[in-house]
Structure 1
Amino acid sequence: MKGLILSGGTGSRLRPITHTGPKQLVPVANKPVIEYAVEDLKEAGITEIGVVLGHKGREEIQEHLGDGSKYGVDITYIIQGNPLGLAHAAGTARDFVGDDDFVMYLGDNILNQGISELVDSFETGDYGAGIALQRVDDPQAFGIADVDVDGNVTQLIEKPDDPPTDLALIGIYVFSPAIFNAIERLEPSWRGEVEITDAIQLLLNEGHNIDSHTVEGWWKDTGKPEDILHANRLVLQDFDASVDGTVEGGAEISGPVELAASATIEDGAVVRGPVSIDAEATIETGTYLGPYTSVGSSCRIAGVHIENTVVVGESEITCDEKIVDSLIGRATTIGGADELLPEGRRLVVGENSDLKF
């Protein structure tokens, strides 16, 4: 079985963070989102992985992932071009997939429990496709599956007004090569896209069995800033912390703290986990880092109170302020200003920004 990670799209809901970089490289707990997909595929025993790229961010993704050897996998890059829908993206990988079954994984998704159970379930039967589902509170906002008592899909409905179930498609699928013939016969939907749900429904109509697996742990689509922050919280609350860097005498740390070997927490700084601090970052005297905060590589954090925030690498924050619930892009500078402003700022800051408080 092969893997296929879709990494196109414009990331419009994450602007301005994605004005200058792909959404799949936005970090959650100091790991780019796309790496979670690579790790899930490898854990499921899938080491031949195709990464489908759009127009934007292709060079950055290829530079970051390389040939996959650092993850123990073999990565092939496939150019989709214009984003014409998930089914179109899948169709571009036909030569790569060949006659194998394959997992298709949206590159901005994060799962708590991985995909091994989904893959195992598919492999135990004779299926044209398998889909990962999760129960949601607002099924009208999702593609919804109706299933029988054995978990076989009987119908797929896109954003129904009167949903028959609360089982939403979450963007992770297993396909047999039969999906490619179905895709070739599709017409674009009203959105102008070739829909993967239409392709699966066509398989169903033609007598293929469609498997399903309901994900019991958490799942996040990291398409918006608040989703990144929520995913960061979810990952940090379960991560294995290790203090490998320098903690100076007089620094105060508590709770799970991940401190990279080349990072430093200076005398007089306070860090309350769960917190992740990446390589070459410095947490200076007078700083308070509160729970659910990730600080990227080569950051300098001085004299500021930060909680529940993601700070991407190469940023400098030196204001005597309180920053909460914020997503701060790469190479951002946030310094002090003369006037006194209200505390508790909430920020979504793009790369190479320069803020004064």
Structure 2
Amino acid sequence: MDGVVLAAGEGTRMRPLTADRPKALVEVADRPLLSHAFDALLSVGVDRLVAVVGYRSADIVAHYGDRYRETPIRYVRQAEQLGTAHALRCALSTANPPLVVVNGDNVARANLDAVLARHRETDAAATLLVERVSRAQAKTTGVVEANADGRVRALVEKPDDPPSTLVTRGFYVFGEPIDPAVRLVTPSARGEYELPAAIDLLVHAGHRVEAVPLEGWVANVNDPADREAVAERLRSLSDSENRGENGE
């Protein structure tokens, strides 16, 4: 099974850290963001990594080479950052569904394996990790409308008036129908090809799309303040685990 990381962005909000390196190589708790994403994929059993790269992509290739922890890596270049659906469309030139997709600027300590398990149990076209947030937060990301049993009814990206406060958390499992869906997406008002729009096409075409509630946490690393907050969270988690191992 292929695991895809969407990691082509320039990371302008991370300046000055991204002035001389891609966002994917910015370190969080002494490890590059992309390593955190790769580890998330390996934790659910992928056997090949596909990295969608763009800004300073040669730096990423030079850092990782063709393997990460003995798992092969393929690189796909997104020459223009035209949105997450466009990035996944680029990846599908080499990645084969079913596949797992993660946002490259996320760090997770969460029930990722439950998303893959639900996907297999239901034979869904797409399965999403979701979380309930505030209405203000919902305006900034992909919003999900779902039934009580987790069946998704609709998705919309960054709505001015969110129809719910359930949002995507940057971890997805997709079946074969995602390929035509990302090809059919049209640009949003922001001029981007959005992944939630592709998933919404799946829903309205009658495909099964499932949502799995987040257990644990997922953090977006968008700016230096996020980086420090996530690093502190990881350090606290590591300290807690070490105390547990030592019987404290």
- Normalised by the length of structure 1, the TM-score is 0.64
Matching residue of 2:44? 44
Aligned partners of 1:40 and 1:114 also within 8 Å = no
* Amino acid of the structure 2 residue aligned with 1:51: A
Letter in 1 for 2:153: T
- Structure 1 residues 230 and 242, CA, compared in 2 at 3 Å: closer, same or farther? closer
Amino acid at match of 1:44: V
Alignment-derived partner of residue 265 in structure 1: none
For 1:198 and 1:64, the matched residues in 2 are separated by 33
- Secondary structure of 1:169's counterpart equals strand
Give the C-alpha shift of residue 181 in structure 1: 0.6
**Partners in 2 of 1:51 and 1:92 — Cα distance?**
10
Residue 101 of structure 1 aligns to which amino acid in structure 2? P
Secondary structure, aligned partner of 1:17: coil
Residues 38 and 114 of structure 1, relative CA distance in 2, 3 Å threshold: farther
Matches of 1:52 and 1:114, distance apart in 2: 24
Q: Pick one of 106, 112, 115 that aligns with 1:115.
A: 112
Distance 1:164 1:184 in 2: 26
Alpha-carbon distance in structure 2 between the residues aligned to 1:95 and 1:22: 23
1:124 to partner: Cα distance = 1.1
What is the identity percentage for the equivalent residue pairs of Structure 1 and Structure 2? 33
Q: Partner of 1:19: helix, strand, or coil?
A: coil
More off after superposition, 206-215 vs 88-97:
88-97
CA contact (8 A) 2:106 2:220 kept: yes
Question: Contact (CA 8 Å) 2:111, 2:216: kept in 1 or not?
Answer: no
Task: State the match for 1:180 in structure 2.
Answer: 179
Q: C-alpha distance in 2, partners of 1:204/1:231?
A: 34
Counting matched residue pairs gives 242
Residues in 1 aligned to 2:233 and 2:241: alpha-carbon distance in whole angstroms: 18
1:114 Cα shift?
5.3
Structure 1 counterpart SS, 2:215 = coil
Structure 1 residues without counterparts, runs of 5 or longer: 244-254, 257-357
Q: Within 2, Cα distance between the matches of 1:232 and 1:198?
A: 32
State which of 92, 102, 105 in structure 1 corresponds to 2:102: 105
Q: 1:122 Cα shift? A: 0.8
Give the secondary-structure state (helix, strand or coil) at the position aligned to 2:216: coil
Q: Does the aligned pair in 1 maintain the 2:53–2:77 contact within 8 Å?
A: yes
Q: Which amino acid aligns with 1:208?
A: H
1-structure distance, mates of 2:47, 2:60: 18
Shift of 1:153: 0.7
* Greater helix proportion: 2
**Separation in structure 2 between the aligned mates of residue 97 and residue 14 of structure 1, nearest angstrom:** 29
Equivalent residues of 1:47, 1:72 under 8 A apart: no
> 1:271-321: CA deviations, max 9, x gaps?
xxxxxxxxxxxxxxxxxxxxxxxxxxxxxxxxxxxxxxxxxxxxxxxxxxx
Which runs of 5 or more residues in structure 2 are unaligned? none
**CA offsets, 1:149-169, max 9 Å, x none?**
111111112233443332111
Q: 1:18 to 1:219 in 2, by over 3 A?
A: same
Using a 3 Å threshold, how does the CA distance of structure 1 residues 110 and 84 change in structure 2: closer, same or farther? same
SS at match of 2:200: helix
Cα displacement (A) at 1:140: 2.4
Matched, 1:82 2:84: no
Q: 1:93 corresponds to which residue?
A: 91
The 3 A distance-change label for structure 1 pair 33 and 44 is: same
Paired letter, 1:235: L
Question: 2: distance between equivalents of 1:60 and 1:161?
Answer: 37
- Residues in 1 aligned to 2:18 and 2:111: alpha-carbon distance in whole angstroms: 26
Q: Following the alignment from structure 1 to structure 2, what is the Cα–Cα distance between the partners of residues 152 and 72?
A: 36
Larger radius of gyration: 1
**3-state SS of 1:238 partner:** helix
Q: TM-score, normalised by structure 2?
A: 0.91
Q: How does 1:132-147 map to 2 (within 5 A)?
A: 132-137=129-134, 138=136, 139-147=138-146
| Structure 1 residue matching 2:238: 3-state secondary structure | coil
Deviation at 1:13, TM superposition (A): 0.5
Asked if structure 2 preserves the Cα contact closer than 8 Å seen for 1:10 and 1:22, the reply is yes
CA distance in structure 2 between the partners assigned to 1:181 and 1:23 by the alignment: 29
Match for 2:70 among 65, 72, 88?
72
Higher normalized contact order (CA 8 Å, seq sep 6+, divided by chain length): 2
